[in-house]
Structure 1
């Protein structure tokens, strides 16, 4: 889609969004989808830092970028970046990265020093850590689907199953958190640490799990008959799934709204901005924003 078509599409989308804002009350009155930049190859993994800046990846170009919540400017945070895909902030101010160039999970300190937290399960290399979420107690949950990358020498899995794993807050070896999935991808938990959502994009299903006191996952419940690439939650508990635009569901799994995005694929979404009410969307070679009336569940002031 060229720039002229993009502009026409965004104008039409603005009219559509304005008309739907009153229906759900989630989109700010008169808000239009804003194209921030299309200077990338494939954007992914948006993660919101305290205060609202959003860090995201351009995996083909091996970079992590930072979007400044106050100025709207984008800068390169790290290059090379381990072919990072999903990102998330831990509770100590480190940026976690699913660095699938070597099937690793990274912890990037404020000084940009990198520690590899894990790269294998019981001696076998991961398929490719993809997305993650950090529990309030520090436990890291991450998905491990298999997507053959052009920069890999290997052509097959070492672990046949595509699963969800966790790294305990105290550290140590990764533990199996959830299996029986086809291709888990998007993952997000609730602020209180009681529930975890996992999107099985390979089976077009999104599940909710209860998180037990020991960190294990229980009571898998099918919430939505749709998978997702990345996903997030707002402060009301609504669930945001991606793929063909952004789909918003209530905490009970009822479809509330569909945000059209003028790209062939929407990879991920989060809430950022100085008040946490800017929906930040990564889609193909671009990033977009949309003003909302709700903040993200995990947004926090600086």
Structure 2
């Protein structure tokens, strides 16, 4: 019989090796070698809705403080872009460089020019006030998909929704016609599409599930398929088709729905995530009152790469 002497030092070394191996295997090469999560600001109340422009700058919201902010990728600085912001939540930059906002204050969709001018695109559906547009994604034709859950806000006069169903809607490229794209959700939230415009992922955070849908030529969604047994507040996707879900840090799934990585964030809640920075190689994360960046080996698909 062989006897081993176990010391506190040896236990610590074993745990350190196990933890290192676990983190290494989890990353599966998507995080750049030597990269570490970097907190670039923590002076906000609740950060959400990151959206990158073609230069790699990222717009994000601080809804309790009613402001949209802009992170400069080249300077690594943050400045206020618009305040008040209509209590903007989710954001997306459209194909013409305008900033689209889920303006939660009056349950609207806004189009904001880089000069700050606002065009209100959608205010209601079939004569009823929307529940509260949350997150959005723009397809290849310029149509807008947006999730419409119901989260009671302290700045609303109403206490019940006009529309019972929590749906996903589609706004046609003319930015006028609005139709139901999908329903049957408990609380739809995060949303992201693939670069080829053929697949849309929708997180039902209320049911703790995320689904994939086939996007048809007319904008209709079909072939609802369970992607993973996890919901999400916000979502993004990389050039390999990996899907990034948020909540407890950032959890990454490959296109087959298998978890391949988990990026821990030392905050109570991670709300949203996108790719920004030069060559879309920076993962930009909003979490509680802070924002973080992480250098990646993969890149986003929002803009064509040379």
Which TM-score bucket, shorter chain as reference? over 0.9
1:71 Cα deviation from its structure 2 partner: 1.0
Could you tell me which of 111, 119, 122 is aligned with 2:115? 111
Query: Kindly tell me: are residues 174 and 230 of structure 1, through their superposed partners in 2, closer, same or farther at Cα, counting changes over 3 Å?
Result: same
1:172 Cα deviation from its structure 2 partner: 2.1
Could you tell me which of 268, 293, 305 is aligned with 1:264? 268
* Distance of 2:264 and 2:20 partners within structure 1: 9
Q: Does the 8 A contact of 1:127 with 1:157 survive in 2?
A: yes
1:83 Cα deviation from its structure 2 partner: 0.2
Could you tell me which of 212, 231, 236 is aligned with 2:235? 231
CA RMSD, aligned part only? 1.7
Could you tell me which of 50, 56, 65 is aligned with 2:69? 65
* Distance of 1:18 and 1:299 partners within structure 2: 33
Encode CA deviations 1:183-218: one digit per residue, 9 max, x unaligned: 000000111111100000000110000011111001
Query: Kindly tell me: are residues 55 and 145 of structure 1, through their superposed partners in 2, closer, same or farther at Cα, counting changes over 3 Å?
Result: same
Query: Kindly tell me: are residues 26 and 121 of structure 1, through their superposed partners in 2, closer, same or farther at Cα, counting changes over 3 Å?
Result: same
Larger Rg: 2
* Alignment partner, residue 251 of structure 1: 255
* Distance of 2:153 and 2:21 partners within structure 1: 36
Could you tell me which of 282, 292, 301 is aligned with 1:288? 292
* Alignment partner, residue 33 of structure 2: 29
Q: Does the 8 A contact of 2:202 with 2:211 survive in 1?
A: yes
Could you tell me which of 78, 102, 118 is aligned with 1:74? 78
Query: Kindly tell me: are residues 171 and 19 of structure 1, through their superposed partners in 2, closer, same or farther at Cα, counting changes over 3 Å?
Result: closer
Aligned runs of 1:143-292 on 2, under 5 Å? 143-292=147-296
1:91 Cα deviation from its structure 2 partner: 1.0
* Alignment partner, residue 89 of structure 1: 93
Q: Does the 8 A contact of 2:205 with 2:233 survive in 1?
A: yes
Encode CA deviations 1:261-280: one digit per residue, 9 max, x unaligned: 00000000000111211100
Encode CA deviations 1:82-138: one digit per residue, 9 max, x unaligned: 000000011111100000100000000122110110111100100100000000101
Query: Kindly tell me: are residues 17 and 46 of structure 1, through their superposed partners in 2, closer, same or farther at Cα, counting changes over 3 Å?
Result: farther
* Distance of 1:225 and 1:171 partners within structure 2: 33
Could you tell me which of 104, 114, 136 is aligned with 1:100? 104
Tell me the secondary structure at the aligned position of residue 74 of structure 1: strand
Q: Does the 8 A contact of 2:38 with 2:294 survive in 1?
A: yes
TM-score by length of 2: 0.91
Q: Does the 8 A contact of 2:234 with 2:271 survive in 1?
A: yes
TM-score by length of 1: 0.93
Query: Kindly tell me: are residues 16 and 68 of structure 1, through their superposed partners in 2, closer, same or farther at Cα, counting changes over 3 Å?
Result: farther
* Distance of 2:219 and 2:267 partners within structure 1: 37
Q: Does the 8 A contact of 1:48 with 1:299 survive in 2?
A: no
* Alignment partner, residue 13 of structure 2: none
* Distance of 1:157 and 1:22 partners within structure 2: 42
